[in-house]
Amino acid sequence: MVGERLYDFRKDAGLTQEALVKILNTTKHAISKYECEQAEPPDTMKILIAKHFHVSVDYLLGLTDTPAPYSTKPLLPLPENFPLEARAELQEFIRYLKYKYKI
């Protein structure tokens, strides 16, 4: 799955294997083996690939069909002057809702 997705990313971006070699600081032989599923990239390489192509590692591995990386932004932005006590209460309420709806 990693090799197939890597090949698709590279082609969609209009990159040659040589260009990707420079971006990922690896060898053409390694890229070729990854794309042909003859070798599995190390975890550090998977992270570099995912970051470069702006996808999650889960997508790269085929664990999800959603390519977008996980967002670290809060769903609802809080005002900057929101008191710490209010933030704590909000977190507690979220825990309650997760428990109530079994999520």
Residue ranges of domains in the chain = 2-61
Higher pLDDT, 95 or 35: 35
SS3 47: helix
pLDDT digits (tens, 9 = 90+) for 30-88: 999 999 999 999 999 999 999 999 898 999 999 988 887 666 666 777 778 888 888 88
Q: What is the Cα–Cα distance from 44 to 23, expressed in whole angstroms?
A: 14
pLDDT of residue 70: 61
pLDDT of residue 80: 80
Predicted confidence (pLDDT) at residue 95 exceeds the cutoff of 90: no
pTM for this one? 0.65
Task: Specify whether the CB–CB gap between 57 and 50 falls below 8 A.
Answer: yes
CATH of domain 2-61: 1.10.260.40
Task: Specify whether the CB–CB gap between 2 and 23 falls below 8 A.
Answer: no
